Chains A and B, each alone.
Chain A
Amino acid sequence: MFSKLSGVHVPHRKNTAAMPAVRMPVPKSVTIPMNMHIGAPSTPVVKNGDEVKVGQLIAEAGGFVGAPVHSSVSGKVTSVAPMIASNGAQVSAITIESDGLMTLCDTIVPPSITDYDSFIDAVRASGAVGLGGAGFPTAVKLDVKDVSRIKEVVINGAECEPYITSDTRTMIDDAELMFEGVQLLKSFLGVNKVVIGIEKNKPEAIKIMQNTFASEPVVEIKPLPSLYPQGGEKVLIYNCVGKIVPEGKLPLDVGVVVLNCTTLAFIAKYAKTGIPLTEKVITVDGSSVANPQNVIVPIGTSMQDVFDFCGGFKEEPKKVFYGGPMMGISVPDTSAPVLKNINAIVALNAADAVLPEPTPCIRCGRCVSACPLRLMPLDFAKALATDDMELLAKRKVNLCMECGCCSYVCPARRPLVENNKLAKAKLRKYQSETDGGNK
């Protein structure tokens, strides 16, 4: 019954794994978009000309599923205006010109956390979102009301994407914070089982985690196979606690809460200092980058500033994206800002960026064998081409997490993930229309 999930062996390229994060100089300005999380965009509470300090609230959560935003530099607000986000949507963004001083906001004090409610309030006020990439507001995830629903917390230290090592650095450099984070979960959420999943290609991180939590009986360190995508939520839950999250349900419905290891460390840090989420450790790498390394970046810093700090480009970049190469979001130019929920920026040279030419599908079935969720991407492609909505629904294209395994293995270089994205959107539209007709 408990059979293994598939995946693909991607190259690791963890060139920066041994490099502790370096703080970059204060950027001249930052542009902070209001949609750095899943849910309602945040609502700006500052206006043009306002003086702001580091950690000062500049935007409130736009709804229950939302997160507040804080200034990452001290200086003056120069504009609150719409910008085009990486997903093509228009979103408002706050631009702050830095005074270079990084003066901390004087109202910042460590939060008073005494019980469940004050813990959730603190997490909400910290601006925390899922730092592994998804950006789901952490307070919403932890606000389970009835803490007995949480049977296990899974800490995601898989970091399965090539290049990225920022979580690796968290586990190595911030192990104590993670320990404190687990104590918070124990005290205020009544958590009594924690599994930390780490891919085996990070032996140092595994060892440090084992040492850190040696005295902590509720924590289990789970070395995971180096098989992408171990860090995919459903895959991680399956491999760490052996549970399957049913279609349309949340991990909490099977008693599981998943937190990224960096999110956990951040919550602990916030509980100690009260400094909200204003900076992020990101991995800067790729064939174009002169000096790949891990960098502590104020949120909203332009990618170009970060690349410049890393010695600029040794080769002209042809593709630049947020995150890793398997699921990363490519950006039109390097003025795009660093967001809360990104863990890497990668710049590829012309040879690596070249788009493969698709050839006919030879029905080899590699996409089927590779899919960790046991879907059949070749059928999605066929169904999309023929507008067969019933087949799309039957084959569950809606479950696709767009991990990229199918496209990666396809010998015909077909754009399968692109197909799946289109098919998901089309099926959603079709189903909402037909359901609307029935009601």
Chain B
Amino acid sequence: MDKLILSVSPHLRGKTTTTLIMLDVIIALIPTVIASSLIFGIRAALLIAVCVAACVLSEFIFNLICKKPNSIGDLSAVVTGIILAFNLPVSLPIWQAVVGSVFAIVVVKMLFGGLGMNFANPALTARIFMFITFGAAMSQYGEPNPGSFFSLDLAATDLVASSTPLADNSAFGLMDLFLGNHGGCIGETCALTLLLGGIYLLVRRVISYHIPVAFLGGLFILSLFVAPSGANILTFALSQILSGGAMLGAIFMATDYVTSPCTKLGKLIFGLGCAVITFLIRNWASATEGVSFSILIMNILTPHINNFTATKPLGGIKAK
């Protein structure tokens, strides 16, 4: 008989792995990938493909240069690529998308030690970086343009400097907002498919309800108090959670394991914090959208929230 393996218990493991979790997130993102292409044309799909390729490749090359084991198999770079692309306007030059992807993976993730070590969400931090670096191109929100579906040419895409629903709330009906038939970043407009993805993640227990519900619920309730006079309060509050990056942020970016708290209470606080900061920025800051900044700020607070909401051990007595 060959030698027996000796190891510490347990000798049985569950089936979930990091790669399977990432695969579930990718599956949850696919309806929105399709929706973004239907709404903004095939160039949206091109942007997504470019971001995914650039993210995976930059992780691969970084590992190669640093003589680290190859880590692209965990698929987290694919998730980062798709989510980053969702945060870009359809007209963004390809090379800028590549720069953003490299920034997300190399600067925000790998330089901090790779998956699990980054304190901020890579896609979201790259989006903020791109807003500062490529401000003009990043604010060219494309209009839905199914007429020129196959157009990859920038000039041909009808780039009316459009207003997002956040800037001009009265222009869009709730149904338009829900289906995503309005200007904005390619992956943030279609609330329907984002919600579908969120439900899938909940059912698969990849995420818990705490962060999305606290984020969107908090934003909804806060918005009730600032509805413009004359407007329907409920419609206004609903439009607040259906527009901008709220859905995408609450379901896919604020729930990033690495950068959000690991306790239930912590997740609720995190989600509410995102809601409050988004609400403050949207209503009183010069920027029209605050989702990215709110999540980034809460990312930074995450270690403190974890400490503050640490679970109380069963029967534990307080240390002296």
Whether A162 is near chain B, meaning CB under 8 Å from some CB there, is yes
When C-beta atoms are compared, the residue in chain B nearest to A326 turns out to be B10
Whether B20 is near chain A, meaning CB under 8 Å from some CB there, is yes
Given contacts A362-B115, A395-B310, A396-B316, contact A415 B258 (CB under 8 A): no
Whether A181 is near chain B, meaning CB under 8 Å from some CB there, is no
- The reply to whether A374 and B312 form a contact with Cβ atoms under 8 Å apart is yes
| Complex interface residues of chain A between 212 and 269 (CB less than 8 A to chain B) | 234, 238, 244-249
Distance to closest chain B CB from A431 (angstroms): 11
Given contacts A320-B4, A327-B9, contact A374 B257 (CB under 8 A): no
Q: In the bound complex, what is the Cα–Cα distance between A246 and B16 (angstroms)? A: 33
Among B9, B306, B311, the residue within 8 A (CB) of A404 is: B9
- The reply to whether A328 and B313 form a contact with Cβ atoms under 8 Å apart is no
Q: In the bound complex, what is the Cα–Cα distance between A238 and B115 (angstroms)? A: 38
Residues in B neighbouring A399, C-beta threshold 8 A: 313-316
* Bitwise interface map of A from 345 to 366 toward B, beta carbon under 8 Å scored 1, else 0: 0101000110110011111111
Distance to closest chain B CB from A9 (angstroms): 9
| Complex interface residues of chain A between 1 and 41 (CB less than 8 A to chain B) | 5, 8, 10-11
Q: In the bound complex, what is the Cα–Cα distance between A407 and B12 (angstroms)? A: 9
Q: In the bound complex, what is the Cα–Cα distance between A331 and B306 (angstroms)? A: 39
Among A360, A375, A418, the residue within 8 A (CB) of B114 is: A360
Among A333, A369, A396, A410, the residue within 8 A (CB) of B4 is: A333
Whether A378 is near chain B, meaning CB under 8 Å from some CB there, is yes
When C-beta atoms are compared, the residue in chain B nearest to A331 turns out to be B4
Whether A437 is near chain B, meaning CB under 8 Å from some CB there, is no
Residues in B neighbouring A10, C-beta threshold 8 A: 12
| Complex interface residues of chain B between 244 and 291 (CB less than 8 A to chain A) | 257-258, 261-264
- The reply to whether B8 and A332 form a contact with Cβ atoms under 8 Å apart is no
Given contacts A411-B20, A411-B21, contact A245 B9 (CB under 8 A): no
Whether A412 is near chain B, meaning CB under 8 Å from some CB there, is yes
Q: In the bound complex, what is the Cα–Cα distance between A326 and B263 (angstroms)? A: 24
Count A/B pairs, Cβ under 8 Å.
165
A66-74, A90-98, A199-207, A311-319 - interface stretch: A311-319
- The reply to whether B13 and A413 form a contact with Cβ atoms under 8 Å apart is yes
Whether A321 is near chain B, meaning CB under 8 Å from some CB there, is yes
Whether B156 is near chain A, meaning CB under 8 Å from some CB there, is no
Whether B116 is near chain A, meaning CB under 8 Å from some CB there, is yes
- The reply to whether A395 and B313 form a contact with Cβ atoms under 8 Å apart is yes
Residues in B neighbouring A244, C-beta threshold 8 A: 314-315
Residues in B neighbouring A374, C-beta threshold 8 A: 311-314
- The reply to whether A396 and B313 form a contact with Cβ atoms under 8 Å apart is yes
Distance to closest chain A CB from B24 (angstroms): 11
Residues in B neighbouring A320, C-beta threshold 8 A: 4
Whether B317 is near chain A, meaning CB under 8 Å from some CB there, is yes
Whether B153 is near chain A, meaning CB under 8 Å from some CB there, is no
Among A162, A332, A363, A365, the residue within 8 A (CB) of B6 is: A332
Whether A105 is near chain B, meaning CB under 8 Å from some CB there, is no
Residues in A neighbouring B71, C-beta threshold 8 A: 360
Among A348, A402, A415, the residue within 8 A (CB) of B11 is: A348
Residues in A neighbouring B6, C-beta threshold 8 A: 319, 330-332
- The reply to whether A329 and B7 form a contact with Cβ atoms under 8 Å apart is no
Whether A299 is near chain B, meaning CB under 8 Å from some CB there, is no
Whether B1 is near chain A, meaning CB under 8 Å from some CB there, is yes
Q: In the bound complex, what is the Cα–Cα distance between A332 and B6 (angstroms)? A: 6
Given contacts A234-B314, A395-B310, contact A417 B5 (CB under 8 A): no
Given contacts A375-B313, A376-B311, contact A363 B4 (CB under 8 A): no
Distance to closest chain A CB from B7 (angstroms): 6
- The reply to whether A417 and B8 form a contact with Cβ atoms under 8 Å apart is yes
Residues in A neighbouring B316, C-beta threshold 8 A: 247, 396, 399
When C-beta atoms are compared, the residue in chain B nearest to A400 turns out to be B313
- The reply to whether B262 and A409 form a contact with Cβ atoms under 8 Å apart is no
* Bitwise interface map of B from 1 to 45 toward A, beta carbon under 8 Å scored 1, else 0: 111111111111110111011000000000000000000000000
- The reply to whether B9 and A328 form a contact with Cβ atoms under 8 Å apart is yes
- The reply to whether B263 and A368 form a contact with Cβ atoms under 8 Å apart is yes
| Complex interface residues of chain A between 381 and 428 (CB less than 8 A to chain B) | 393-396, 399, 402, 404, 407-413, 415, 417-418, 421
- The reply to whether B314 and A373 form a contact with Cβ atoms under 8 Å apart is yes
Distance to closest chain B CB from A412 (angstroms): 5
- The reply to whether B314 and A379 form a contact with Cβ atoms under 8 Å apart is no
- The reply to whether A317 and B1 form a contact with Cβ atoms under 8 Å apart is yes
- The reply to whether A376 and B21 form a contact with Cβ atoms under 8 Å apart is no
- The reply to whether A375 and B311 form a contact with Cβ atoms under 8 Å apart is yes
Distance to closest chain B CB from A278 (angstroms): 28
Distance to closest chain A CB from B25 (angstroms): 11
- The reply to whether B116 and A365 form a contact with Cβ atoms under 8 Å apart is no
Residues in B neighbouring A346, C-beta threshold 8 A: 11
* Bitwise interface map of A from 116 to 147 toward B, beta carbon under 8 Å scored 1, else 0: 00000000000000000000000000000000
Q: In the bound complex, what is the Cα–Cα distance between A15 and B22 (angstroms)? A: 34
Q: In the bound complex, what is the Cα–Cα distance between A333 and B4 (angstroms)? A: 6
- The reply to whether A363 and B258 form a contact with Cβ atoms under 8 Å apart is yes
Q: In the bound complex, what is the Cα–Cα distance between A364 and B24 (angstroms)? A: 14
- The reply to whether A379 and B310 form a contact with Cβ atoms under 8 Å apart is yes
Whether B65 is near chain A, meaning CB under 8 Å from some CB there, is no
Whether B176 is near chain A, meaning CB under 8 Å from some CB there, is no
When C-beta atoms are compared, the residue in chain B nearest to A370 turns out to be B14
When C-beta atoms are compared, the residue in chain B nearest to A421 turns out to be B8
Whether B221 is near chain A, meaning CB under 8 Å from some CB there, is no
Q: In the bound complex, what is the Cα–Cα distance between A353 and B12 (angstroms)? A: 8
Whether A276 is near chain B, meaning CB under 8 Å from some CB there, is no
Distance to closest chain B CB from A370 (angstroms): 9
Query: Can you report 20 residue pairs joining A to B where beta carbons are below 8 Å apart?
Result: A10-B12, A234-B315, A319-B6, A326-B11, A327-B9, A362-B76, A362-B258, A364-B262, A368-B263, A369-B264, A373-B314, A373-B315, A374-B313, A375-B313, A378-B262, A394-B319, A402-B9, A404-B12, A407-B13, A412-B116
B residues near A, CB below 8 A?
Answer: 1-14, 16-18, 20-21, 71, 74, 76, 114-117, 257-258, 261-264, 306, 310-317, 319
Top-4 shortest CB links A-B: A365-B262, A404-B10, A325-B12, A360-B116
